[in-house]
Amino acid sequence: MKLTSFVLIEDNDSYLLIKESNPMWGGKWFFPGGEAKNNESPKQAVLRETMEEAAVTIAVKGMFYSKYDQGLLRNNLSFYYYAEALNHETKRKPDKHSLESRWFTYEELLSLPLRDKENALDIINTYRNLKKNHSLN
């Protein structure tokens, strides 16, 4: 089974997204994150991936969403965390980890080409509803 973790980072009503460098995702936008390496916890993976893809250091606050996908060759379990950005300047130069990273308002991200847009919007809306109902720290 493949373990992946992603992070939703909100600051001043804006969300940090990365532009995917993987040709499979065609330069679409998504949350920082990816596959956990051997002996790496999902939380450790999201800390590493956020630094690699966005050049942002984060403080993980908690997990708010998970998703299990059954594939033909292997299954995937994804964990979605929410975190606070400890620095706000993002990576601008493309590399193997991401093409760029930027902050977007909710309204802006609705019109972006998002990786798996329906799922991405469900994740963001779940976070926003939990936050609105004071269910997150």
Q: What is the residue extent of each domain of the chain? A: 2-132
CA distance 118 to 39: 31
Strand, coil or helix: 75: coil
Sign for the pseudo-dihedral over CA of 35, 37, 40, 44: negative
The whole model's pTM is what?
0.93
Summarize pLDDT for 29-46 with one digit per residue, the tens.
Answer: 999 999 999 999 999 999
CA distances from residue 60 to 11, 80, 108, 116 in whole angstroms, order as listed: 14, 10, 24, 24
If you average pLDDT over every residue of the chain, what do you get? 94
| pLDDT reported for residue 37 | 95
| pLDDT reported for residue 105 | 98
Question: Which CATH superfamily, name and number, covers 2-132?
Answer: Nucleoside Triphosphate Pyrophosphohydrolase (3.90.79.10)
Q: Are 3 and 38 in contact (CB under 8 A)?
A: no
Share of the chain above pLDDT 90, in %: 85
